[in-house]
Structures are given as C-alpha cells and as structure tokens.
Structure 1
Amino acid sequence: MEQSQLLTLLEEKRDLFVSGEEISRLLGVSRTAVWKQIRKLEAEGFAIEAVPRKGYRLTGRPSRLNAAELQSKLGTTAFGRHLHIREVVASTQDVLRELAEKGAPEGTLVIAERQDNGRGRMGRSWVSPPGRGVSMSLLLRPDVPLQLAPQLTLLAAVALCRSLGRETGLQIGIKWPNDLLVDGRKISGILLESATEDERLRYVAVGLGIAVNLDPGDYPEALLARAVSLKMAAGRAFDRAALIAAALLEFEQLYALYKEQGFEPIRILWETYSVTLNRTVSLNAGHGFFEGVPRGLDDSGGLRVELPDGGFRTIYSAEIGDAAPLPNAKG
C-alpha cells in the first residue's frame, strides 16, 4: 500500500471517519500496515483524527510555502530576494553553504519544509514537522573581523524576537545568547555557522528555526515542558509566509543599523529583551559549572557575569540554567 492510496481514500471520505478495518479491506492490507501509513502521513504534516471504534478522519493538509506568495509579502531590498524553497533537505545550512561557496549574494535565503538532519546549537536537533514550522537559512557577507562574530548571533536574536513579538502579540524574551522564550519555553532556535579567511568572515550562514503551528502531539513528551509553538502560546495559527517576511525585514533593517553605527544599538536592544540578566544562574562554559549574575554584554558581544566574590568573568559560549540565589547578589 502506498501513502497516496490511503490519502486518496481519506480525501474521498473527507469529514467522515473510516475504520481501520474498512481501510484494510478496501486496500487489501493489514491493520498494522494502515497504522504505520497513518503515522507517516502525520509526519508529513497531514492532520488525521483517530477515535477508538470510529477510525480515522482527515482534518487538514500541510500548508506549503509558495515562493511567489512569500516574495509578494517581502518589504526587503536584499534579504530573501534570492529564494530557494526545497521540499526536503538534510539541512538548510548545508544547502546555503554550497550556494555561498558558488558566489550566492548576501541575502540569499534557503527554506525547507522538512529537514532530515536539522541542527541547533551544541549539536541538538530541531523539531519541525512539514507545513507547521519554519526552517530557513540566510546568507550574510559582513565585513567584520572574526572575533566580532558573536555580535551577529545577538543581532539575529533581536531581529527575530522583535518581529515575532510584533506579529503575534506574545511577550517573547531572549535567553543568552539567542534562544527565544515564551513563558520560559523555547519557540525558536538560531544557529550561526561561518567561513573565515585571514581572520575575517567570508560569509555567515544564519539558521533560523521557528515553531509556528505545531500542536502538543508534534513534540516528544520530554520536550513539552521546555518547548512551545506560537500557535500553542497564542491559541491561534499564524501565516508562516507573513512571519518570514516580517523577520527578514526586521533583520535587514537592524543589519543596516549595525553596519552604520556598530554594535552599541544592538547591545541595548538585546539587553532590553533579555530574560537572562540580573538573576542568579548556573553556567557551564565547558570547564565545569559555576554560578553568577549576568549583568550585560561587553563591546564584543560577550556576556559579563558577576561572580560571588564580586569579580567579573566574560563568556562567549555556555549553557545557562537556573540556580539557587546567591547571598548578597544584586537584583
């Protein structure tokens, strides 16, 4: 039995439940084979309601992004104007890096409905069922030295935070360096990967993942306490193309500001949206855990952490978690 046969049958019975027994009989397969194909259709983004003793009912098809529709919504000059939409890729980052090596211009955008090997910071995977999230990578060619690369990570976080907050009405905060949270749960992941030459950046691939219209059943149970979608948080679905267009416009405008005025305006904005500052946290910078109170960013984009003895330590990469309040910690 092919997925197309099962899908055709469910489409023909739209709005009606079809029992597993009937599907088995009509398609000449076992009930187990039916169940496996149902799971595969759900993984492809089809919404299928399953009710004991009633069967299965198709309630929604995956929403595919359309290049013409997306570009009609763009208000940018360069970002997203060279657009590549793919159905399935290993990773949008990998596709974008190939394009970058072939000379793709700044602002080139790769979007995939499904990633088989999508990745986030620290090598983590990213959950994004087809038609319900956003998985995309944007090409930058900044004329800045390698040591200032952390600034671009923070810029990306500010751009996405501001645009999503404006489009959804949700209170979104930034957990250092670039995780976006709603009520303490993650709704977006950002990953920057760069190519360098002579201590300068040749190009940067900015990977952006947004959990847009995912439902609780789309997440592994272990993630539900730490992750949420915009739809789950707001109680309504969102137009993915509109969110992408808004994010690209905000990103392009802040990137222009960064090139004109440097990091200071971005630093101020990041600190405004941060949910990390001025509270005691536990940090793991790769050499064991320590506790401290993040106070702000330095000029290069590092996080300045006040230690229990009153001294300061600047970090550029670390895992941050909650910790018990420290004695005499400033609020």
Structure 2
Amino acid sequence: MSSTREKLITLLAKHSHTFVSGQWLSEQLNLSRTAVWKQIKQLKLDGYEFEATPNKGYRLVSTPDKISQNTIYWGLQTKWLGKPLQYYDELPSTQIHANQEAQAGASQGLVVVAERQTAGKGRLNRTWFSNNSGGLWFSFILRPTLLPTQAPQLTLLTATVLAEVIANKTNLQPSIKWPNDLLIGDKKVAGILTEMQAEQDGIHYLVIGIGLNINQGPEAFDDRVKNRATSLSIEAQKRFDKRDLLQAILTRFEYHYEHYLEYGFEQVKKNWESYGYRINQSITYVTRNQTHNGIIKGIAEDGALLVETKNKSVERLYSAEIAWFEEV
C-alpha cells in the first residue's frame, strides 16, 4: 500500500458523511485530479461504492464485505501497527512470509494478512487448518528492546488481547488455555505462534502469528479437528465482520504492547489470569515421565504455568503433557 493510498483512505473515512471534491483531494494529496480519479477507481474495484456528483465530488456510500488491503486500512486507528501492511489472497503461511520479511530488514509493525493459507502452522510444527476464507490468518513483526527470556510474555499478552476483543465484539466468553490457545467452552477458536531471532543479550525481532476462526460453519472442519475446534459464528449463531475484528485486534494490541513496555508485565498477568482456562481447578499432568495432580493458580512472569501440588508447594511448568479435557 502506497502512502498516497493510505492518505486517501484516511481523508475519505474522515469525511464519509459528506462530499469531498476532486480538487480538494488533489490539493491534500499533492496529486493531479486524474491521479485521484485513478485511486478512486481502484477503490471501486475493491468493492467500495461512491456517489459522484458534478461540482460536489465524491461521497462514500458503502464499504465491501470482502477483506482486502484497502478495507483493512479503512478506519484503522493504529499509529504504527499495520503500517505497512501486506495482503495476499493466498500464502503458504503468513508466519513464514513475515519471518522472511523480518530477516530482510522489514520494520516493526509490518502486518502480513492472507485470505487463506495452504500450509498454516501452529506450535511444534502442528498443522493449522486455514485453507479457507472463514477466519483471520495474519502475522506481524515486533522489534522490542527485551531479553529473549521475556518473549513468552508477549505470547501471553497477545492471548489477552484476543480474549478482550472476542468478549467485546461477540459477547461470547473466551478463555485462554496455557500457553497460546483461545477456547470457547472446551473448543479451540484461535491459536498464537511466536517465533524470534535473538542473541543472548537481546531480541533482533519477533514474529507473532494469529489464526482466528470467525465465520466457518461446522462443515468447514474435517474429522481430525471437528470435535476440538469451533468458530465465533458457530458459537454465536451469527456472522462477524472480519475487517472490524482485525482492526480491533491491531488497535488493542498496540495499546497493550506500549503499556507493557512502559509499565511491565503485572497488568498482563492480571488480565491473563482473569481469562485463564481452568484457573483454580485440578488438572493431571506428566513431567519427566511421572504423573502428577495439581491446581492451576495462574502464571509466572517468565510465562510458566503455576500449579499448586498436593503438598501445597507451587510448581512452575514450562513444558508438560497436560490432560486439559481428560485424564492422562
């Protein structure tokens, strides 16, 4: 997206209640009126509808349902996240592409969005079922001045942002299953993948990938996942605007990320624990080939899951086989 297109979208969004003249737009953008007309024509191809009246100019009538690079920019209230942005009808994986862009020097805030992924992935190289247009599949680049040991905090922060947006936009009650899954009830609706390039004393970049099931119906999930996965539409019995959800996620992430950098992890921890799946409930888990029982108490600042054992001591779990839904 060129800076000119971004400025045009911003101007039209601010004045969508009235007509704006081609002359005024050309002056604001330092373009010829012919160049402005070509930009408007491109927006029409994306599905925007305008009323054009001689001596008055252009007035936005409606925006398209289909998500695109232009529609994402329209009304996006962030300062730097999503600016720049890359949109693709199809990619193997937004995560792979964003990592390549980061390695090539892309700036913090680049967001890569795909309408569908042919090789979406989650943690531990698990497949993420995203070869459809029913969800949001996107990744973004961060370049924080943090130690590598703090990177798990950003996964936890991202989970709280998703939970907040889902709760506010859908009235559903999401929960966060440690460390990176969003659930509605006991079914997965979103996942987060955080990858980084770092040295011992600092992070070069982080790429955070998000997959969120939105408008898929039950038929969208194959036999491997249909009993474990769901979508916002299935749970709420209505469809949702993908653009609106993406813009809300980016806006809230930018706010919480900046708050975290200034004030630390304490508020993130509180937010996470307010959504934590099975907080204060008993679980069975396996570590070092031994089976244990304990009660989930929350998370530690380093991202570990805090579990109270039978002798009332608190154990930190960094990696464990946890029976979230049934006995191990």
TM over 0.5: yes
Q: How many residues align?
A: 264
| 8 Å Cα contact 1:129-1:214 kept in structure 2 | no
Deviates more, 1:135-144 or 1:198-207: 198-207
Match of 1:302 in 2: 304
Match of 2:60 in 1: none
1:220-276: per-residue Cα shift (whole Å, max 9, x none)?
A: 134222110000000011111110000011111110110010000100110111123
Match of 2:319 in 1: 317
Aligned-pair CA distance for 1:188: 0.3
State the secondary structure of the residue aligned to 2:90.
strand
- Between the aligned partners of 1:147 and 1:234, the Cα distance in structure 2 is 38
Pick aligned residue for 1:65 from 62, 67, 82:
67
Pick aligned residue for 1:159 from 138, 161, 182:
161
Q: 1:277 to 1:74 in 2, by over 3 A?
A: same
Match of 1:253 in 2: 255
| 8 Å Cα contact 1:164-1:247 kept in structure 2 | no
Q: CA RMSD in A?
A: 2.0
- Between the aligned partners of 2:200 and 2:302, the Cα distance in structure 1 is 19
Aligned-pair CA distance for 1:283: 2.5
State the secondary structure of the residue aligned to 2:141.
strand
Q: 1:224 to 1:142 in 2, by over 3 A?
A: same
Q: 1:133 to 1:278 in 2, by over 3 A?
A: same
- Between the aligned partners of 2:303 and 2:145, the Cα distance in structure 1 is 17
- Between the aligned partners of 2:321 and 2:78, the Cα distance in structure 1 is 34
Q: Supply the AA of the counterpart residue of 1:178.
A: N
Equivalences for residues 162-201 of structure 1 within 5 A: 162-201=164-203
Q: Supply the AA of the counterpart residue of 1:159.
A: V
Q: Supply the AA of the counterpart residue of 2:210.
A: L
Aligned-pair CA distance for 1:64: 4.1
* Corresponding position: 1:275 with 2:277: yes
Match of 2:126 in 1: 124
* Corresponding position: 1:227 with 2:229: yes
Match of 1:114 in 2: 116
1:100-138: per-residue Cα shift (whole Å, max 9, x none)?
A: 112211111001122121111222111224321111001
- Between the aligned partners of 1:137 and 1:286, the Cα distance in structure 2 is 34
State the secondary structure of the residue aligned to 2:157.
helix
State the secondary structure of the residue aligned to 2:145.
coil
State the identity %. 35
Match of 1:236 in 2: 238
Aligned-pair CA distance for 1:287: 4.6
| 8 Å Cα contact 1:100-1:139 kept in structure 2 | yes
- Between the aligned partners of 2:288 and 2:215, the Cα distance in structure 1 is 35
- Between the aligned partners of 1:168 and 1:279, the Cα distance in structure 2 is 26
Structure 1, unmatched stretches of 5+, are 1-62, 326-331
Match of 1:217 in 2: 219
Match of 2:50 in 1: none
